[in-house]
Amino acid sequence: MSNIIPGVPTPSSGDPTCVLSQCARLIAQVDCVAYILQGTTACIDIQLFDGNGQPLDLRRFREIQVMLFDDLECTVANFWWPSVPTGCRGFEIEILQTEDTAGHIQNEGLIRVCLDTSCTGRSPGSIFAEIRLTEDPLVTGQPVQVYGIKCIWVAVIQESKIWSSGCDTGCSLLT
């Protein structure tokens, strides 16, 4: 998976109504739907854009939350930035956007969420993301704005024979 999705958001695979969010204020996209074998680890990169299709500068936000959920709308995992709130279960979002010493931004609007085996060791099926971003009024100079992006298709958990069968089947040297 590449770290930058060039140009205006257009999905390279899958159903464009799901891998590309349909939101007037902000847009989210994955460059491809990740196929993850049940019980393995995986990371998903999500590119965020403003309403004009330009990469979103993440410096203007004070909080970001991503919730992954399955076909039955059951939560798979929660992710937060800058940290997981006290009393909540989940993981931190990795912000891939960086700024060099000259002030140039690389990977603008790019975030990563990583799943461990406890997240992928579930029934096979599609995984979707919902994203919530809260602006920082100290950066924007405006009242707090909270943005939501709903239902972006990000992954498919595929059935694993090893994960589902365990270790007590098949032939062996022991009798």
Superfamily of domain 16-161: Immunoglobulins (2.60.40.10)
**pLDDT tens per residue across span 115-149:** 999 999 999 999 999 999 999 999 999 999 999 99
Q: What is the pTM of this model?
A: 0.83
Please state, in angstroms and as integers, the Cα–Cα distance from residue 10 to each residue in 18, 48, 82, 98, 125, following that order: 11, 12, 28, 23, 24
Hunting for tokens 């049940």 — which residue is that? 38
**pLDDT tens per residue across span 144-174:** 999 999 889 999 999 998 887 766 666 767 6
Hunting for tokens 């958001």 — which residue is that? 9
What confidence score (pLDDT) does residue 141 get? 93
Break the chain into its structural domains and give their ranges. 16-161
**pLDDT tens per residue across span 38-75:** 999 999 999 999 888 899 999 999 999 999 999 999 99
